[in-house]
Amino acid sequence: MRIILLSGKPKTGKTTTLNIVYDFIKQDGGKIINEKERLRSINDFKCVFLYNKKKVAIFSMGDFLKECIKALIEYSNQDVLVLAYSDIFIKLNLKEITKKFSYHCVIEKTVAEKNEHSIANDKDCKRIISELKSI
């Protein structure tokens, strides 16, 4: 499995960015394998697509370390996992764990200035899509 980790502090737009990635993939011809399933919060979700000839799982609940670990296990049979991750966890650094995968990419969440959140989220979405298309 290949990992794309969207890492950042809480409330920086990781989930919002992954919702934009979801919409982009859907509009760009991605075929839904497992429909978008809402998680604990109204915006967090998980799903699986067939995109760019690969099975791509998206898991947005990155502020809960235990849930991130469960997602690594649950989606280990997919080609790619796009995973939100809150970099506040000191005891277990997911960035270090993902280095063990054959392909891993850590994208640091762009920090937005006042009133520029949508620009930052779009920029990060484009980086994720670019990674998906290159692997």
Per-residue model confidence as pLDDT tens digits over 37-75: 888 777 899 999 999 999 999 999 988 888 888 999 999
What percent of the chain lies above the pLDDT cut of 70? Answer: 91
Choose the weakest-confidence range: 66-75, 113-122, 126-135: 113-122
User: Residue 114's pLDDT band (boundaries 50, 70, 90)?
Assistant: low
Q: What is the residue type of 120?
A: A
Nearest to 133 by CA among 24, 18, 45: 24
What is the tens place of the pLDDT at every residue in 3-14?
999 999 888 899
pLDDT surpasses 80 at 115: no
Report how far residue 68's alpha carbon sits from residue 70's, in angstroms, rounded to the nearest whole number. Answer: 5
Nearest to 36 by CA among 54, 57, 55: 57
| Sheet (strand 45-51) strand order | 31-38, 45-51, 54-59, 80-86, 2-8, 103-108
Cβ contacts of 65 within 8 Å, gap of 6 or more? 86, 89, 92, 94
pTM: 0.89
What token pair was written down for 113?
């200035």
pLDDT surpasses 70 at 135: yes
Alpha helices of 1-45 — where are they, by DSSP H?
Answer: 14-27
pLDDT at 91 (0 to 100) = 60
Per CATH, the number for 2-134 is 3.40.50
Nearest to 39 by CA among 14, 64, 21: 64
Residue 39 burial by Cβ neighbours in a 10 Å radius (0-12, 13-18, 19+) = middle
Q: Where are the domains of the chain?
A: 2-134
